Amino acid sequence: MEPLFNIAGMLTAGSSLTAGMIYLLTGLQKDGEKVELIFGILSLSLFVYLMLPPVGFTVVDKAPYSNAIILKRVFIYAYYILLPWYIGLYSGYRKKNVSLAIGILLAINYCQMAFASMDSMKPVWLLVALIADTMILIYGIIAARWQIKNSEKSAGRWLMAAMIIYGSLLIPALINNLGDNFFAKWIGSKIFFPFHLHLLAFIVIMSIRLRERTSEKFRLEKELYSTDHRWSLLVRNMRLLLLELDNSGNLRRLNPYAISALAIENESDFLNKNWFDHFVPKSEIP
């Protein structure tokens, strides 16, 4: 079974690397969105966690933990801390206090793991982790329901599906933790029961949704450009005098036909000049 779990771990790493690079680069572009950037960082955090030695998900060990394990776990905690921020950005249901509370709990949990010299802290460590995991799950479900009700139903359903699958796959991981590595001992493996399945499921589901969202955005931008281009051609070629004036009556813009009809030789000489002073007889000005 262990080779199978290692393969699953590598698939998780590959998926997280692919999603991370795509959305990190997309988010860093000039027209990129913050939600894509956060998702890219979140995915890359999982990839780095899986790749740092010992490769794969954390091996079964006991406190005090080695420096390698402590460093490695920085990135999985970063994943969980970023998760509620991503949910808030994606759904529009932002509760900064909730995200901050989850972040503080996870920071406390990490310090307990990193600096506890004995297993006496394990019950408290597990309790704090359980509270943080439960808060993330509940927050995600509430955010998805809010999004379905108030904004984008399709996007909200994707988030709801991701959180339900995330929660379903998280349960075995919690049982294993609370049961002193129950599943790991049951299957006779030296590595943890593959907890990363819920992390993988969330990344895959939301990657598909973000890809559809990006494709839809590009399609709408293309349609908008096409519409603007056709309208621009129409305006330039129609025999209709079109002017744009500001609130003071100064000329801001005019179409080619207006330039020809008004016998304007140099357009720049008339821009920002008062229309009524130059083209309207004083007798016609009220």
Tell me how far apart the alpha carbons of residues 184 and 177 are, in angstroms, rounded to a whole number: 10
Within-domain flag for 238: no
Q: Which residue has the tokens 């969980």?
A: 80
Query: Which residues span the domain enclosing 213?
Result: 2-227
Within-domain flag for 237: no
Q: What is the CATH number of the domain that holds 212?
A: 1.20.1070
- Both 250 and 141 in a single domain? no
Mean pLDDT in residue range 142-154: 90
pLDDT tens per residue, range 98-119? 999 999 999 988 888 787 655 5
The burial class, CB within 10 Å (0-12 / 13-18 / 19+), for 30 is: exposed
- Both 125 and 252 in a single domain? no
- Both 163 and 46 in a single domain? yes
- The predicted model scores a pTM of 0.70
Asked whether the beta carbons of 59 and 2 are under 8 A apart, the reply is no
pLDDT tens per residue, range 190-221? 554 455 677 778 888 888 887 776 666 666 66
Within-domain flag for 234: no
Compute, in degrees rounded to 10, the torsion defined by CA atoms 200, 203, 205, 207.
-140
